[in-house]
């Protein structure tokens, strides 16, 4: 089904109001690096189609991305996806679906590969906050979901997508 959302466990927990803690803004020890990583499984019963969204992780909007790496099994066909930001509403809405990278390929197996600084994230924004990368004029507060939005997929894809993100918080 086109436009289907598939959620990682951490996004499901966030949207279910499971208690969570983030370092307070300005309270990170002068640039302490925070890391998060995880996986999302594409089940045999799930077909990945254009406009489907794979919601990876929830981060504060003032997170300054230092690194965002994505790795995957061979997901087949011509599977490509943009990497961007979504609201944390119960039905997430794109803030900027390709804020971080455009048309990242998942067609062949790949280890964790840096995607920050791709076409949609100019080098001048490397280390920028999520809200800056998303083209928002001012810090809106709160959190964004980092998600993949499928651009092309010619065959059903089954497998694992993993990510690793390093960031600091202003």
What local confidence, expressed as pLDDT, does residue 148 receive?
Answer: 93
| Residue 69: how many other CB atoms lie within 10 Å | 16
What local confidence, expressed as pLDDT, does residue 162 receive?
Answer: 94
**Phi and psi of 87, rounded to 5°?**
-70, 165
What local confidence, expressed as pLDDT, does residue 83 receive?
Answer: 93
What local confidence, expressed as pLDDT, does residue 47 receive?
Answer: 75
What local confidence, expressed as pLDDT, does residue 86 receive?
Answer: 96
Please, are residues 6 and 40 in contact by the beta-carbon 8 Å criterion?
Answer: yes
5-15+35-169 topology per CATH: Jelly Rolls (2.60.120)
Please, are residues 53 and 81 in contact by the beta-carbon 8 Å criterion?
Answer: no
What local confidence, expressed as pLDDT, does residue 44 receive?
Answer: 74
The structural domains of the chain, with segments of one domain joined by +, span 5-15+35-169
What local confidence, expressed as pLDDT, does residue 60 receive?
Answer: 94
pTM above 0.85, yes or no: no
Residues of the chain with pLDDT under 50: 23, 25-29, 120-121
**Phi and psi of 133, rounded to 5°?**
-60, -30
**Cα atoms in the Cβ-side hemisphere of radius 13 Å centred on 165:** 24
């Amino acid at each position: 089904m086109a436009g289907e959302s598939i959620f990682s466990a951490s996004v499901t927990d966030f949207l279910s109001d499971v208690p969570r803690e983030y370092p307070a803004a300005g309270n990170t020890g002068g640039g302490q690096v925070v890391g998060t990583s995880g996986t999302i499984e594409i089940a045999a019963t799930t077909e990945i189609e254009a406009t489907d969204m794979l919601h990876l992780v929830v981060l504060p909007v003032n997170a300054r991305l230092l690194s965002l790496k994505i790795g995957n099994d061979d997901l087949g066909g011509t599977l490509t996806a943009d990497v961007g930001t979504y609201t944390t509403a119960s039905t997430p809405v794109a803030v900027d679906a390709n804020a971080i990278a455009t048309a990242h390929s998942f067609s062949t197996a790949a280890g964790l590969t840096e995607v920050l600084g791709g076409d949609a994230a100019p080098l001048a924004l490397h280390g920028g906050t999520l809200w800056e990368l998303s083209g928002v004029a001012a810090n809106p507060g709160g959190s964004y979901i980092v998600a993949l939005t499928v651009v092309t997929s010619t065959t059903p894809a089954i497998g694992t997508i993993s990510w690793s993100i390093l960031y600091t918080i202003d």
